Amino acid sequence: MKILYYILCIAVLTNIMSCKKYVQVEDPKDQLVSSSIFVNDATATAAMVGIYSDMNAFNYQFANVITTFMCAMSADEFTYASTLANFDEFKNNAVTPGNSYVGIMWSQPYGFIYRANAVIEGATASNTLSSGVKNQLLGEARFVRAFCHFYLINFFGDVPLILNTDVLKNTNLPRTASKDVYAAVIADLVEAKKLLVAAYPGGAERTRPNKTAASLLLARAYLYTGNNALAEQEANEVISSSGYSLLNNPDVTNAANMTKAFLKNSSEAVWQLQVVNTANGRNTWEGNTIVPTAAPFYRLTRGALGLESGFEPGDKRFSNWVGSYTTTAFPPVTYYYPFKYKVRVGIAGSAPTEYAMVLRFAEAYLIRAEARAQQGNFAGAKADLDIIRSRAGLAPLVTASSLTVAMAQVEQERRVELFAEWGHRWFDLKRWKSTSGAAGKTRADDVLSQTKTGWKSTAILFPIPSEAMRTNPNMVQNPGYN
């Protein structure tokens, strides 16, 4: 595996200026992971928050643009106005093991997992940390480990499960069955919920996970593994938590406040990554990359089956979260692009106004709606979807008469609510069974085969990167890539 480089070379404590954006600590110089880091609360906390800082320090990384963009292109959300070999592979669902982006999607999560394991081991062994900080760090580290394993499963299927810092052993681990990795993800999140508190640590900003973040990710993990009763239960906890709400004006036909959903510390934010690199007035990497200055490079998919046509008439998500650019050519052409983040560059030297959204409150309603539908509670599913629709200025749904109808309603709302966010659409198409009833087929087969030439069912998993195959003799490639 290509984690050896990260294990040997990455210090847990990153540049202190980045860490201070998350919590004020004294500079621990250039120490590597060691027991001395976990002697006092400040340096131990820096070990944890340094992970979040590195997640968002540079563009086109696992924890910002790559996951959202590559998954959106692999699905049916947006494309781009050029020919780029690495991008083309995702757009055409023909990713090769040597693709540099798929390499990042593998190696960076494992790097963060290693660092989370180092925090777990160091904090557990320490007898000098205050109990509150110790529990907080153990909870956050388990959350990060679960988060990264969750994404690795959904990118690649069976993946090595890494639960310690034993470099020599972990480098040659075989792939672990997805069901067992999911079990570890769920166990980590259950424990994280016990250790974390409702208040966000380090101040009022929502940039370090709290109990609600663990509950929301746990609800998602339960939903993905078919445990719908527990998914509903966890979603209930999130929805009933104080401090969260869908941004809306009292008049539901006026959804102007939706434009504020992605501001830093908005009431919809359950977990965000704070801006680290603010050069030239930059806010989020997502906004800096996708908001155009002329004709947009990234564009919603077109045609009857494209996302551009996927919104109902009057849906305020289209008017608030989709931008447009009309050319001066004759006849003019209008292109649409994701516009959830509004800031390409702000005023140099001014504080950022937007943070990268990782977990958002609206997902809890969508999880509960799907879980309820799967349990036959179609009226309950409709009630949750109607809350999302009401904020978007849309009329209530008709109560579904069957699971097929209910799931079609869920799919529509998830598609237009969560577009261009952390691969939701791609993961949904892969995890849902085909409506045709064909054995072994998924919704990806139903949907993507209609618009993508050469679509193959094996494309629902990305290939194991070449470097992982080369360095780990026990690694086995995914079907369709040999």
Residues 281-328 have pLDDT tens digits of 899 999 999 999 999 999 999 999 999 999 999 999 999 999 999 998
Distance CA 475, CA 465 (A): 10
Q: Is the full-model pTM beyond 0.85?
A: yes
How much is the pLDDT for 36? 85
Tokens read off for 356 = 């990268």
pLDDT of residue 220: 98
What value does the mean pLDDT take over residues 344-363? 92
pLDDT band at 24 (very low <50, low <70, confident <90, very high): very low
pLDDT one-digit tens code per residue, 139-188: 999 999 999 999 999 999 999 999 999 988 999 999 999 999 999 999 99
CB neighbourhood size of 253 (10 A):
10
Whether 11 has a pLDDT exceeding 50, the answer reads no
User: To the nearest whole percent, how much of the chain has pLDDT over 90?
Assistant: 82
Helix (H, G, I), strand (E, B) or coil at 356: strand
Q: Which residues are 80's β-sheet partners? A: 298
CA atoms within 13 A on the CB side of 206: 26
pLDDT level of residue 3 (50, 70, 90 thresholds):
very low
pLDDT at site 9: 36
pLDDT-derived band at 202 (thresholds 50, 70, 90) equals confident
Percent helix / strand / coil, the chain, rounded to 5:
50, 5, 45
Q: Would you list the domain boundaries of the chain?
A: 4-207+381-449
179 to 54, 159, 186, 314, 426: CA distances (angstroms): 29, 10, 10, 41, 19
Supply the pLDDT for residue 21.
43
Segment 236-252 shows an average pLDDT of 85
Q: Which residues contact 418 (CB under 8 A, 6 or more apart)?
A: 360, 362, 363, 366, 424, 425
pLDDT of residue 32: 41
Residue-level pLDDT at 154: 98
Task: Give the pairing of strands 334-338 and 356-360.
Answer: unpaired
pLDDT at 482: 82
Nearest CA to 462 out of 181, 178, 97 is that of 97
Query: Shortest CA distance to 469 belongs to which of 112, 6, 107, 163?
Result: 107
Give the amino acid at 168. L
pLDDT range class, residue 379, cuts 50, 70, 90: very high
Q: Is the pLDDT of residue 1 over 50?
A: no
> Is pLDDT at 473 greater than 60 in this prediction?
yes
d(CA 373, CA 57): 40
Q: What is the pLDDT of residue 346?
A: 84
pLDDT at 35: 66
Tokens representing 7 are 């294990």
Mean pLDDT of 70-74: 97
User: What three-state secondary structure class fits 12?
Assistant: coil
Q: Reduce the DSSP state of residue 165 to 3 states and report it.
A: coil
> Nearest CA to 51 among 218, 205, 276, 213?
276
Helices (H), 250-361: 285-290, 316-321
pLDDT band at 409 (very low <50, low <70, confident <90, very high): very high
CB neighbour list of residue 68: distance below 8 Å, 6 or more residues apart: 286, 420, 421, 422, 423
In terms of pLDDT, which residue wins out, 472 or 30? 472
Residue 255's pLDDT is 57
Q: State the greatest distance between any 2 C-alpha atoms of the chain, in Å, as a whole number.
A: 72
Q: Which comes out higher in pLDDT, residue 451 or 5?
A: 451
Rounded Cα distance, 171 and 159, in Å: 12
Residue 13, pLDDT score:
36
Is residue 232 within 8 Å of residue 218, measured between CB atoms? no
Residue 34 has what pLDDT? 60
Rg (CA), the chain: 22
Q: What are phi and psi of 86, to 5 degrees?
A: -65, -40
Digit-coded pLDDT (tens) for 421-430:
999 999 999 9
| CA proximity to 241, closest of 270, 217, 261, 212 | 212
pLDDT band per the 50, 70, 90 thresholds, residue 458: very high
Strands 298-300 and 78-80: antiparallel
Q: Check residues 75 and 17 and name the one with the higher pLDDT.
A: 75
Average pLDDT of the chain, as a whole number: 91
Pure H helices in 403-454: 403-417, 424-431, 443-448
Q: Look at domain 4-207+381-449 and name its CATH class.
A: mainly alpha
Q: Above pLDDT 70, what percent of the chain?
A: 91
Q: Which candidate, 267, 223, 205, places its Cα nearest to that of 241? A: 267
pLDDT at 116 over 70: yes
- Predicted confidence band at 249 (pLDDT cuts at 50, 70, 90)? low
**Residue 256: per-residue pLDDT:** 60
Per-residue pLDDT, 135: 98
Omega into 479 within 30° of 0, i.e. cis? no
